[in-house]
Amino acid sequence: MVNVIGLGYIGLPTALMLSAHNVKVIGTDRNRELVKTLRAGKTTFKEDGLEELFENALQAGITFSTEYQTTDTYIVSVPTPYDKFSKKVNAGYVISAIKDIIKVAPEGAVIVIESTISPGTIDKSVRPLIDAAGRKDLHIAHAPERIIPGNMVYELFHNNRTVGADKREIGEKIKALYASFCQGEIVVTDIKTAEMTKVVENTFRAVNIAFANELAKICRHDNMDVYEIIRICNMHPRVHILQPGPGVGGHCISVDPWFLVGDYPSIAKVIDESMKTNDSMPDFVLNRIYEIMKERGLTDLTRVGLYGLAYKENVDDMRESPTLQMLESQEKHLAAGLKVYDPFIEKDVVKNQYHDLDEFLNSVDMVVIMVKHDEIREKADTLIGKIVLDCQNVIDLPGVFHI
């Protein structure tokens, strides 16, 4: 039986997937409300195919609890934020999960950590706990998740995976567990390599997005069309530039690369600058809004609306969202008043938030496309007559402004 610890964006789909593939699973989370919701048969976030997977898992007998279970395998998928000041990983939730597992784990159990951690975290923070408890019989493995919000269920099935373990046979055992549902290749390696690969994958993407964002700033400076330039460059067989945007959100690409900056501050220079470039984008867009307002004779910021609160298209996840970053910055500059709308965010989370597209559009003269949800791509015509700042290059209307 597998006890999945932490039933958030990664833990829940992983638990459901294992259960739907005939692995006996108990999902544990210390959040009572969350467990109550899951026990009532309701999912806690939206993802393509998640509801159906939940149905299958329920039929296969998955159960949810706030208690840690006594079993032979644990999968830990709790959050690993970073300390904003030191930039180092905050492994507090992982450490507390390991402490609780140690109390109930039988001899020889395997603890698999899926949470993203910086290279060396298991050696520095996890192993000492196990040793201090006199539990050298317990095995540790690291199987970092790789699924992308918006396409999680598909990617759980198809992505290649990495499993790091001290002993080959433990690595193979965990590989077999994931192979119950995963059709991708599963590589077995050592723990530190597995830790590093995960952080490096997200850092690769962060640095490449930063390059696109820097190009956007250069092009804005001299009034060049960054999208046309990227399109032409990408016709070269060895050039694959990503797209600039209003910032980088999510709990991965905007966070993990900082672990390397925090641990190797005098070496990780390109990464440090890239992260700063990405973090500067919401302010860059805010300045662009002011610039366009001036150009078009608009003086009232309350007549400007931000389309999108989620951190990217077609998800309801707002973690580190560029729109939230921008609203924070705008409040700092005492310029509050921007209106906001996102079809995926049903709750009221910010001031001046709308829940109906027409009402939102009727209340503004200028719309800033922060997120390229399908809704606005399909309803681009509703923007006719508005001043539009399209930060995602998806609105094909005359006179649209870009970053």
First to last CA, the chain: 51
391 binds ligand SAJ (CB under 6 A): no
Shortest Cβ distance from residue 170 to ligand SAJ (Å)?
23
Residue with smaller CB distance to ligand SAJ, 116 or 162: 116
319 binds ligand SAJ (CB under 6 A): no
252 binds ligand SAJ (CB under 6 A): yes
Q: Which residues of 315-331 are buried (b: 16+ CB within 10 A; e: fewer)?
A: bbbbbbbbbbbbbeebe
Both structure tokens of 266: 């005098």
119 binds ligand SAJ (CB under 6 A): no
Name the segment binding ligand SAJ (CB under 6 A); options: 31-39, 199-207, 232-240, 346-354: 199-207
Element at 75 (helix H, strand E):
strand 73-76
Shortest Cβ distance from residue 368 to ligand SAJ (Å)?
14
Contact with ligand SAJ (CB under 6 A): which of 139, 142, 146, 373? Answer: 146
Residue with smaller CB distance to ligand SAJ, 102 or 306: 306
Residue 198 appears among annotated catalytic residues? yes
149 binds ligand SAJ (CB under 6 A): yes
- The DSSP symbol for 222 reads T
Q: What is the C-alpha radius of gyration for the chain, rounded to an integer number of angstroms? A: 23
Contact with ligand SAJ (CB under 6 A): which of 87, 139, 142, 312? Answer: 312
Cβ–Cβ under 8 Å, residues 202 and 252: yes
Distance, in Å, from the CA atom of 74 to the CA atom of 223, rounded to the nearest integer, reads 55
Shortest Cβ distance from residue 272 to ligand SAJ (Å)?
18
CA dihedral of residues 163, 166, 168, 170 (deg, nearest 10): -70
Distance, in Å, from the CA atom of 242 to the CA atom of 286, rounded to the nearest integer, reads 22
Residue with smaller CB distance to ligand SAJ, 156 or 388: 156
Contact with ligand SAJ (CB under 6 A): which of 3, 77, 115, 202? Answer: 202
Maximum separation of any 2 CA atoms in the chain, in Å: 72
Contact with ligand SAJ (CB under 6 A): which of 248, 268, 318, 326? Answer: 248
Residue with smaller CB distance to ligand SAJ, 312 or 402: 312
365 binds ligand SAJ (CB under 6 A): no
Distance, in Å, from the CA atom of 80 to the CA atom of 100, rounded to the nearest integer, reads 17
Contact with ligand SAJ (CB under 6 A): which of 201, 214, 273, 331? Answer: 201
CA nearest neighbour of 127 among 58, 195, 36, 173: 195
Distance, in Å, from the CA atom of 310 to the CA atom of 268, rounded to the nearest integer, reads 29
Residue with smaller CB distance to ligand SAJ, 166 or 374: 374
Name the catalytic one among 87, 173, 175, 198: 198
Q: How many residues bind ligand SAJ (CB under 6 A)?
A: 20
Angle of the 226-233 helix axis to the 191-221 helix axis, nearest 10: 130
- The DSSP symbol for 301 reads G
Amino acid at the residue 355: H
Shortest Cβ distance from residue 70 to ligand SAJ (Å)?
29
Both structure tokens of 357: 């597209």
Contact with ligand SAJ (CB under 6 A): which of 205, 217, 220, 377? Answer: 205
147 binds ligand SAJ (CB under 6 A): yes
Contact with ligand SAJ (CB under 6 A): which of 29, 47, 114, 145? Answer: 145
CA nearest neighbour of 176 among 137, 143, 139: 143
Shortest Cβ distance from residue 353 to ligand SAJ (Å)?
19
79 binds ligand SAJ (CB under 6 A): no
Residue 252 appears among annotated catalytic residues? yes
148 binds ligand SAJ (CB under 6 A): yes
311 binds ligand SAJ (CB under 6 A): yes
Name the catalytic one among 182, 219, 252, 391: 252
Which residue carries 């399909």 as its tokens? 378
State the CB neighbour count (10 A cutoff) for residue 380. 16
Tell me how long the chain is: 403
CA nearest neighbour of 145 among 56, 55, 76, 63: 76
Q: Which residues are catalytic?
A: 198, 252
- Interface ranges with ligand SAJ (CB under 6 A): 116, 145-149, 201-202, 205, 209, 242-243, 245, 248-250, 252-253, 311-312
